[in-house]
Amino acid sequence: MNVGTTSTSKQPTTKRGQRTRQALLEAAESVFGEMTFEQASIAEITRRAKVALGTFYVYFPHKQAIFVELVDDLSARLKKTLAAAVKGETTRLGRERAGFRAFFEFAAKHRNLYRVVRQAEFVDEPAYHRYYRTLGNAYAKGLSAAMAKGEIGRFEPEILAFALMGIADMIGMRFVLWESPTAIEPIVDEVLELVQHGLLSKARMTSPKETK
């Protein structure tokens, strides 16, 4: 596979093959999350997936192929998780709350997400861009619909989408990945307060001493 292309992995046609391929991806998520791309080996991936070394090549031609597929797979799973979380929410604010909560929960469950995606910038930059653009395009589409309905102010949709994604990304890293919180809802509450009212929220325009 040439650098910068999509994965050339083979899609299995049987349920057994699908399970094996998924086991390899899950093992790769663990290995690439714990090691650098250079340190990670196909042998370690197959050992954790509990399959023979030769089985790897039935589905992936080489290490970079499974890495690219992993990045795309994480993006697809996250997108699906977010879509399911906001389904049924009738307001934009409700969708934002559900989306932030779902992302934080996904990050808590897939603790190697950040390390894998960060490495993608150097292993396969197009895959790195594709990860964020896939999520950003879907987000911008939803925000555009909310703007058309007058639910939120008018902004450039993609800029707004990436601004909100940036908030989720950094808050998730600092307060979910680093801290392993017992409760995510207080984090979501704080983020939604900022999203809804901004830096000039009247409810927050008092000093700590004045709120006591």
What are the residue ranges spanned by the domains of the chain? 11-60, 64-198
pLDDT class of 111 with cuts at 50, 70, 90: very high
- The dotted CATH code for 11-60 is 1.10.10.60
Tell me the per-residue pLDDT of 90-109, one tens digit each, with 9 for 90 and over.
999 999 999 999 999 999 99
Q: Do the domains at 11-60 and 64-198 have one common CATH topology?
A: no
Q: How many angstroms separate the CA atoms of 205 and 87, rounded?
A: 34
pLDDT class of 13 with cuts at 50, 70, 90: confident
Could you write out the DSSP letters of every residue in 138-200? HHHHHHHHHHHTTSS----HHHHHHHHHHHHHHHIIIIIITT--S-SHHHHHHHHHHHHH-TT
| 68-83: average pLDDT | 97
pLDDT at 9: 67
pLDDT at 7: 53
CB atoms within 10 A of CB 161: 22
**Which CATH architecture group holds 64-198?**
Orthogonal Bundle (1.10)
